[in-house]
Structure 1
Amino acid sequence: MYEFISGKITRNTPAYVVIENNGIGYLINISLNTYEALKEKKEALLYIYENIREDAYTLYGFSEVNEREIFQLLISVSGIGANTARMMLSSMSPEELKVAISTENVNQIKSIKGIGLKTAQRVIVELKDKIGKIADGEKIPFLQDNTNAEEALSALVMLGFAKGPSQKVIDKILREHPKSKVEDVIKLALKML
């Protein structure tokens, strides 16, 4: 079992990275979060998860142990494989995913490509209690009442905008301006969509 692999980055793409260590090049699948962390680096240390199946031996790498722990929790949920978990961690940061699960935000999880309503609900049911355990005393940021986000999303959908992109824009606005009123969120979202 590999804990981590470190070495020189010989190839870095949004989907995978190749790390050379002692003359061996390891092809390691990564999330967009890890890709962003490695973007300007020439050398890296990635925490590894080995996915061993009958027909494949695949490595998944993470820039932080925290991201690997969430990945392992996600693949423990029935119906979520390694590639789906990687997609989830590419769509949301580990912290955003923790908050979405702990606050039971089905819509945010459902907005991830390839995740339907039942899978999103299953993720919340199976991981809500476990998410708190991996936080190791770190506090999950408390999000303001989701009423503003839900009202803004509802308004944008009624105006004819697609739900997924609207949700992402609203989340971004509320991260940057957490005390915004519903009207302000809608106005800003209309400019960004």
Structure 2
Amino acid sequence: MIDYIKGELSELTPAMAVVEAAGVGYAMNISLNCYSAIQGKKDVKLYVYESIREDAHVLFGFASKKEREMFLLLITVSGVGPNTARMVLSSMSPAELCNSISTGNERMIKTIKGIGLKTAQRIIVDLRDKIVSLGIAEEIPAGGSMENPVDNKVKEEAVSALTMLGFSPAPSQKVVMQILKDNPTAAVEQVIKMALKMIK
């Protein structure tokens, strides 16, 4: 089992990071929180979860052990697979998610694409005690993000990430354009977070 991969960040998009270690490039699916944490860095250390299926061997990367712990907790919930867990961690920071779980805020969790009311309730019931015992919420700062000038790069990266997360390009582009019109200084990850709440 791979615990973490440490090396040079050779490629980065809001949905994927490629880390080169000992001459091998490891492509890892990442959340927006991870993207924000490693953006602009040359060398990174990403904690890994391996999803091994009959048809694919997929790696998920995390900037901190706490984010990986949250991901591992989410995939224990019935109806939440690795891609849904990544969507959850792209829509909310682990701290915000823990706060929603501990306060029983199912409405907030239900705003995430792919999470219905029953799944939101299951996440709260199954994980409330576990996050308290792990103390995840207290240890994770919300973390700010750099502001970028509006340009096509922000728009393209946001649309590309949304497409990789399974959304159709046309509606994604429409929503991203609307967000950038209202928030011209928003960074890519902020745009994607807003878009995840708007696209249904």
* TM-score greater than 0.5 by the shorter chain: yes
CA RMSD of aligned residues (A): 1.8
Task: Report the counterpart of residue 73 of structure 2 in structure 1.
Answer: 73
Partner of residue 5, structure 1: 5
Asked if 1:64 corresponds to 2:52, the answer is no
Match of 1:86 in 2: 86
- Matched residue, 2:111: 111
Match of 1:188 in 2: none
8 Å CA contact retained: 1:99, 1:140: no
- Segments of structure 1 that go 5 or more residues without pairing to the other structure are 142-193
C-alpha distance in structure 2 between counterparts of 1:140 and 1:59, whole Å: 23
Q: Please give the TM-score of this superposition, normalised by the length of structure 1.
A: 0.70
Q: Deviations 1:14-46 (Å, cap 9, x if unpaired)? A: 111000001100001100000001111111000
Provide the rounded CA distance (Å) in 2 between the counterparts of 1:91 and 1:139.
19
Distance 2:139 2:35 in 1: 25
Q: Does 1:96 align with 2:101?
A: no
CA distance 1:135–1:32, shift in 2 (3 Å): same
Letter in 2 for 1:51: S
Higher relative contact order (CA 8 A, sep 6+): 2
User: 2:47–2:62: 8 Å Cα contact kept in structure 1?
Assistant: yes
Q: Secondary structure at the match of 1:59?
A: strand
Say whether residues 1:125 and 2:138 are aligned partners: no
The 5 A counterparts of 1:16-55 are: 16-55=16-55
For residues 93 and 4 of structure 1, what CA distance do their matches in structure 2 show? 21
Q: 1:140 to 1:23 in 2, by over 3 A?
A: closer
**Secondary structure class of the residue paired with 1:107:** helix
Deviation at 1:136, TM superposition (A): 6.7
Give the distance between the partners of 1:31 and 1:139, measured in 2 at CA: 18
| Percent identical | 58
Paired residue type of 1:97: L
Measure how far apart 1:10 and its partner are.
0.8
Alpha-carbon distance in structure 2 between the residues aligned to 1:140 and 1:44: 19
Q: Which has the larger radius of gyration?
A: 1
Query: Which stretches in structure 2 are left out of the alignment for 5+ residues?
Result: 142-200
